[in-house]
A and B are shown apart, each in its own frame.
Chain A
Amino acid sequence: MKWQMRRPALFTIALLAAACAAPRAAPGDPADWIGRASFVFTGSVDSIGTTPETALLSEADAVIVRIETVHEKPASVRLSEGETVAVQGGGAESLKPGTRATFYATGEAYGRTLALRAVGYEVDDGPIEAHAAKVKMLRSAANDAGLRARAHSAAAVVVGHVTSVQAARESNAIDSEHDPEWHVAMLDVEEGLKGAKSGENLRVRFAASLDLTWARAPKLRADQRGLFLLRKPSDSDDYLLVDPDDLLAVDQAERVRALTAGGR
């Protein structure tokens, strides 16, 4: 009888405890998070509070995470083992000090330290090697998915080489620092993976301008060989190549072929 009287109370306490405890993971899927995250790291919640960088953005508290291992970060960012970062969003605020988790996040404010916004997290006490392996696998899958989508959206995917390059129109017709300075490359198709066949000659428009707007756009030159993912704008018969991710090394052809096998 005595025991039975206690059971509801214990059950209630257990329910409350469960309600108060932070979830083991933020809602969502790590495979999705990694596609949106530029920071992935494992660390433990050190405290709850603010930093000059979080205070710059809002008055809300953040979890201050001490870094155990940085799995991924932008090259320009300083972030090392033992440092702390402030993390807000993604439900991370509910994590208690001492909690160890792997965080998927983006940068919001960069000052003396970092203020990050979580897109997801997973609480886990497992070995760091397992976290690292999982992140590596997720990134590889995300990269494959990105390339697959890129190939699917391209009008043509070909291995080929450039035979000639010329200006697309009279130069200096309009003076602007941001003039793309369109040029046209003639591309001999060696192997067509999509949208074109071996032996075809394609006109490919590209931006020759060195203006920072266009500086990263591929600059084609005669005899250049590569794997081209070509777009077809609605206002031109020429193919278009302006995204640096649309020009790959020839040795990526097998990967693209495998990723696009069966179509979708």
Chain B
Amino acid sequence: MVAPKLRSLSIAVLVSAACAACVEITSVAPDPAQPGDHVLVGVSNILGPSFLEPGARLRFDGTTRSLSPDTSSQVGFNLPAATSPGSHLIEVEDQIGLIEILTVIYLFRDHDDSRILEVTAPPRVVNMIPASLSGETNQDSEPFLSIRPRNPALLVGSAFTPNPNGAGSVTAPIFVSTNGGNTWSLVNSVPSQVQTGDITHAFDGDGPVRGTLYAGILRRPAAAGSTTTLDELSIDDVTSAGPMTLLSSNQNTDQPFVTVATVGGRDRVYVGNNEAFDAAVRPNTATIDLSLDSGATWNSVRLESRVTFNQDAPSVRASVARDGVVYAAYLHRTNAAGVNRTTDVVVARDDAGATGATPFQNLLDGGDGLAGQRVVIGVNIPFINAATLGFERIGSTLSLAVAPRQSSTVYVAWCDRVGNGDIYTMHVRRSIDSGQNWSNDLRTITNATNTALAIADDGAVGFLYQQLTNAGAANARWVTHLEQSRDAFVNVQDTVLATTPANAPASLGLPYLGDYTYLIAQGSAFRGVFSANNTPDVANFPQGVVYQRSSNFTTNTLDDGARNPVAISIDPFYFSVQVMP
């Protein structure tokens, strides 16, 4: 009689022990999760959480939390706001208890379990105007963005934003964020009277945490006798009041566009620009100002290998891959009549980072054999320095991006007028053989401008642009898109960042939104900037938006922080969107 009872008891003990020792994660919610979420992890050994032994632990991203055996079956923790998107491991480890020891079952069962938690970051749009400038009504157009690669929490933004101190100021401001773009401050550190003309910038790739920021600006006022003055600057700590250090200065030059690559501890600085106002340089005016020694010495490299009709268009863009291969794109003029400019889109390449004696000569055109492959020949790019696309001018829109880990893949985007009733049409093309051959249009966007391309480490392409819808109508809108693709835009993920009224506010000058925007692929996210009407209306920002300045999303109005109304104006917006899966 006893034996069967003992046998039954033994079986029960063994089953219980096996289950008790078999700790496992039964659920994780939410999954995927977003930074800031409270994550609930279901932990069970079937007999219940109270069977967890003292010392049971949960680990996430290197942080260990105790699992109390007295808790419910769910263990919660807050996902830190700084958690990066991607796959993260949740680990649970139990301790060996008395039953396991008695039954020696611990030798055969795991005492830990793990589960992958996918962390995603939702698209984020932030109005960059700080709270203390809630009364500002400037036309903060033509935004730009830099991110410190070694410390992606450190960002610099810029726009046509004046120094709030007013007319007597000898410096212009930049926007600085030290928390990954969540909040921004304005710091007056750029040596230019009140504000700059064009301004772009880029961080170096290594060095101290705060690194070196290089900037190219059109200084105000220009030097005596010059129409424009391009100053190339640097600053070793963008969070300081500066001012930035002057590295080089060129006269009668337009639209500086800064790109930086750090190789062997030295910064290669490429500043695309156009020396159109310099009679000694015309007609071949597309230029890269080049420094290979962290800004100590500079050389102006003429990109144009063909004779132009008077000049190249203002935009000159460079993009550098990790292997040092650098591309440059420019708009070669072949004729002009009225506002129309007959133009070739040209891409040049240097396989050694432009370190040789004759830079940008590695890509020869398959037709005429000259340096610089013509992506397209003879398109019409009207140059109209007046409100044309809504309140925006047109005439020189260009972007270029090389895949950082695959320098044979390069994308270019430009705008022209195709003549089908369009005002300005955007085109995107791709080369997968280092710029020698180019696709047809992968994307064609009617009535759009302000394109910016970037390519993530894993090859996903980001394509930022602003499209005018219902042009000429009372309900015209500027719609800001970030498209992504992994297959040359056969399949596209489109994220609408903003859709804002195009007929308000009134223009205070040109550009209305900008002659360019910017996009950076940083880690697992595309991060960029655009300018738009700043009406605080959730309907205008489909991904949501955060305002620092005083705003009322119920009445769709702004105020100065003391309840005095503030007029709607153009503001810069920062955004981040996770790279598509």
On whether the beta carbons of A177 and B254 are closer than 8 Å, the reply is yes
Any A CB within 8 A of the CB of B314: yes
Query: Nearest Cβ distance between residue A92 and chain B, in whole angstroms?
Result: 16
Kindly state the separation between the CA atoms of A231 and B218 in the bound complex, as whole angstroms. 23
Q: Write out the residue numbers on chain A whose beta carbons fall within 8 Å of the beta carbon of B386.
A: 210
On whether the beta carbons of B131 and A176 are closer than 8 Å, the reply is no
On whether the beta carbons of B187 and A106 are closer than 8 Å, the reply is no
- Among A17-25, A74-82, A126-134, A193-201, the one that faces the other chain is A74-82
Known A78-B550, A180-B227, A211-B385: A110·B133 in contact at CB below 8 Å: yes
Contact with A along B156-177 (1 / 0, CB 8 A): 0000100011111100010010
Q: Is the interface of B mostly helix, strand, loop or mixed?
A: loop
On whether the beta carbons of B314 and A175 are closer than 8 Å, the reply is yes
Query: Nearest Cβ distance between residue B106 and chain A, in whole angstroms?
Result: 52
Any B CB within 8 A of the CB of A114: yes
Q: Write out the residue numbers on chain B whose beta carbons fall within 8 Å of the beta carbon of A52.
A: 185
Q: Which residues, 149 to 182 on A, are CB-close (under 8 Å) to B?
A: 172-181
Chain B residues engaging chain A, CB cutoff 8 angstroms: 130-139, 141, 160, 164-169, 173, 176, 178, 183-188, 197-198, 218, 220, 225, 227-228, 239-241, 254-255, 274, 276-277, 282, 310-311, 313-314, 336, 339, 341, 383, 385-386, 393, 395-396, 507-511, 515, 548, 550, 560-562
Known A76-B138, A110-B133: A210·B186 in contact at CB below 8 Å: no
Known A76-B164, A212-B160: A108·B241 in contact at CB below 8 Å: yes
Q: Write out the residue numbers on chain A whose beta carbons fall within 8 Å of the beta carbon of B562.
A: 78, 80
Chain A residues engaging chain B, CB cutoff 8 angstroms: 35-36, 38, 52-53, 56-58, 74-80, 106-114, 117, 172-181, 209-216, 235, 245
Q: Write out the residue numbers on chain A whose beta carbons fall within 8 Å of the beta carbon of B188.
A: 107-109
On whether the beta carbons of A112 and B134 are closer than 8 Å, the reply is no
On whether the beta carbons of B164 and A113 are closer than 8 Å, the reply is no
Kindly state the separation between the CA atoms of A140 and B508 in the bound complex, as whole angstroms. 29
Known A57-B239, A76-B137, A213-B218: A175·B185 in contact at CB below 8 Å: no
Kindly state the separation between the CA atoms of A78 and B385 in the bound complex, as whole angstroms. 35
Closest B residue by C-beta to A216:
B509
On whether the beta carbons of B509 and A210 are closer than 8 Å, the reply is yes
Query: Nearest Cβ distance between residue A181 and chain B, in whole angstroms?
Result: 8
25 contacts between A and B (CB under 8 A): A38-B164, A38-B166, A75-B135, A77-B132, A78-B135, A78-B550, A106-B165, A109-B185, A109-B187, A111-B130, A111-B132, A111-B186, A112-B130, A172-B336, A174-B310, A175-B341, A176-B227, A177-B255, A177-B393, A177-B510, A178-B228, A210-B386, A210-B509, A212-B510, A214-B509
On whether the beta carbons of A74 and B277 are closer than 8 Å, the reply is no
Kindly state the separation between the CA atoms of A78 and B134 in the bound complex, as whole angstroms. 6
Kindly state the separation between the CA atoms of A90 and B141 in the bound complex, as whole angstroms. 35
Q: Write out the residue numbers on chain B whose beta carbons fall within 8 Å of the beta carbon of A75.
A: 135
A-B complex: 5 closest residue pairs judged by Cβ atoms: A215-B509, A78-B561, A111-B185, A76-B136, A38-B165
Known A77-B135, A177-B314, A178-B218: A111·B385 in contact at CB below 8 Å: no
Kindly state the separation between the CA atoms of A216 and B548 in the bound complex, as whole angstroms. 28
On whether the beta carbons of A177 and B511 are closer than 8 Å, the reply is yes
Q: Write out the residue numbers on chain A whose beta carbons fall within 8 Å of the beta carbon of B336.
A: 172
Kindly state the separation between the CA atoms of A56 and B561 in the bound complex, as whole angstroms. 23
Kindly state the separation between the CA atoms of A180 and B184 in the bound complex, as whole angstroms. 33
Among candidates A74, A173, A213, residue contacting B166 with C-beta atoms closer than 8 Å: A74
Closest A residue by C-beta to B313:
A175
On whether the beta carbons of A56 and B314 are closer than 8 Å, the reply is no
On whether the beta carbons of B510 and A215 are closer than 8 Å, the reply is yes
Among candidates A107, A110, A175, residue contacting B276 with C-beta atoms closer than 8 Å: A175
Kindly state the separation between the CA atoms of A175 and B339 in the bound complex, as whole angstroms. 10
Query: Nearest Cβ distance between residue B332 and chain A, in whole angstroms?
Result: 13
Among candidates B141, B186, B314, residue contacting A110 with C-beta atoms closer than 8 Å: B186
Q: Write out the residue numbers on chain A whose beta carbons fall within 8 Å of the beta carbon of B550.
A: 78
Q: Write out the residue numbers on chain A whose beta carbons fall within 8 Å of the beta carbon of B274.
A: 176
Kindly state the separation between the CA atoms of A74 and B173 in the bound complex, as whole angstroms. 15
Kindly state the separation between the CA atoms of A106 and B167 in the bound complex, as whole angstroms. 12
Kindly state the separation between the CA atoms of A176 and B131 in the bound complex, as whole angstroms. 35
Kindly state the separation between the CA atoms of A212 and B314 in the bound complex, as whole angstroms. 16
Known A56-B185, A78-B560, A212-B141: A177·B515 in contact at CB below 8 Å: yes
On whether the beta carbons of B254 and A109 are closer than 8 Å, the reply is no
Query: Nearest Cβ distance between residue B516 and chain A, in whole angstroms?
Result: 11
On whether the beta carbons of B510 and A175 are closer than 8 Å, the reply is no
Query: Nearest Cβ distance between residue A248 and chain B, in whole angstroms?
Result: 15
Q: Write out the residue numbers on chain B whose beta carbons fall within 8 Å of the beta carbon of A177.
A: 254-255, 314, 385, 393, 395-396, 510-511, 515
